[in-house]
Amino acid sequence: MNFASTKPKVYFKTFGCRTNVFDTQVMMSNLKDFEITQNEKDANVVVINSCTVTNSADSTARGYINSLNKLPKKPRVIFTGCGVWTKGENLFKEEKVDSLFGHSEKENINELLKNEERFFTAGDLEHIDETIVEEFVGKSRAFIKVQEGCDFRCSYCIIPYVRGDARSYSEDKILEQVSTLASNGFGEFILTGTNVGSYGKKQHTSLAKLLKKMSLIKGVRRIRMGSIEPIQIDDEFREIINEPFMAKHLHIALQHTSKKMLEIMNRRNKVLKDLELFEFLRDNGYALGTDFIVGHPGESDELWKEAIENLHRFPLTHVHAFTYSKRDGTPSATMKPQVKGDIAKIRYNELISIIDEKNYNFRKENKKTLEVLVEQEKNGKYIGLDQHFNQIEIQSSADLVGDWIFLENYEAKESGNVAKF
């Protein structure tokens, strides 16, 4: 993006998930009368794309807002993202921020920022973006948002109330987005959204059909997905898992491996069915990640023991683990008994240790050639991700940033894979 140096400078601070990363790119793409800066100290305007998944996420955003007061040149502070619907009103009233706008207004960011008066434009929870993103600033992989919102109502989660019910982007718009980015040199695409697996269910299509059409676009080399629910991996999806465009890694949200805890969390997945699915995918060469919440109210010693016994049976290689953090406005926030923080931390560390060992064993036992997209150079080494979503550190005399390379020989260390090229 090339802007005249006389334009006001805007710095974007993004918190939270990949969906927020994409939303920030949408905002960047719609800025016409401003210049994007990568240094907040140079900014005339700071746009905060907030996360509100927990009370802690709200506190983090508030802390960042306070830190802006210490900059030599205090910028105008604009607040957007999921936090608009939970904490926005208070932030506005307390004059912690200058203005706010909701998700549905992000494509209007240029006009909004030109309005120098204070404003609070929340918008609605039904909007679908029309913007075609042409680049990802500072990224080697492209994120493709395919849907918005969620129809699930897990007891701990506020997101359906701040992003709305599930709704899908049009297939034509998604394919146009992929084609544009592929023609600009991107070869790996990560599908993102609030609930990616729900794509197409109200449009008489499906995620599997979309993936097949994406794979036909020239330049598309590898497709990954954000978190998907176990019940969304249906027979149609299973039929494409060995297609060459599919990354050999899926992130499937379990959240827990105790039957009773899944009921308390108001989850739709079942432990035994989940295990069957994971074993099927492992047998087809997949590395498998999951989300797991530790210390949710009601997680007794007995239920934790059950969960760990089951977890050992799952062929997991990656985990996004969280110690439960209360989110006001959700059913879980008032549930009893609560789990003490020190106990939750012990359980968290136990979980991480188990998955780290599983990942190490997977990498040691893998005999397949690694297909690596090199993303960056750091401390004289090149860093990339293979098809199993494992990071590898590469020593090379050539400049590999942005290249796809094949590695037959590498060393699996506990800290990660290393290789020479």
CA distance 202 to 168: 8
CA distance 298 to 303: 9
- Other residues' Cβ atoms within 10 Å of the Cβ of residue 141: 16
Q: Look up residue 268 and give its two tokens.
A: 């739709």
Q: Are 300 and 260 in contact (CB under 8 A)?
A: no
pLDDT beneath 70: ranges in the chain: 1-5, 137-138
SS3 call for 192: strand
| Paired sense of beta strands 391-395 and 404-407, if any | unpaired
**DSSP assignment of 51-108, as one string?**
--SSHHHHHHHHHHHHHGGGSSSPPEEEEEEGGGGTTHHHHHHTTSSSEEE-GGGGGG
Q: Are 150 and 166 in contact (CB under 8 A)?
A: yes
CA distance 196 to 229: 8
- Other residues' Cβ atoms within 10 Å of the Cβ of residue 312: 10
CA distance 102 to 49: 10
Q: Give the model's pLDDT for residue 138.
A: 60
Instruction: Indicate left, alpha or beta for 329 from its phi (over 0: left) and psi (-120 to 50: alpha).
Output: left
Q: Give the model's pLDDT for residue 173.
A: 92
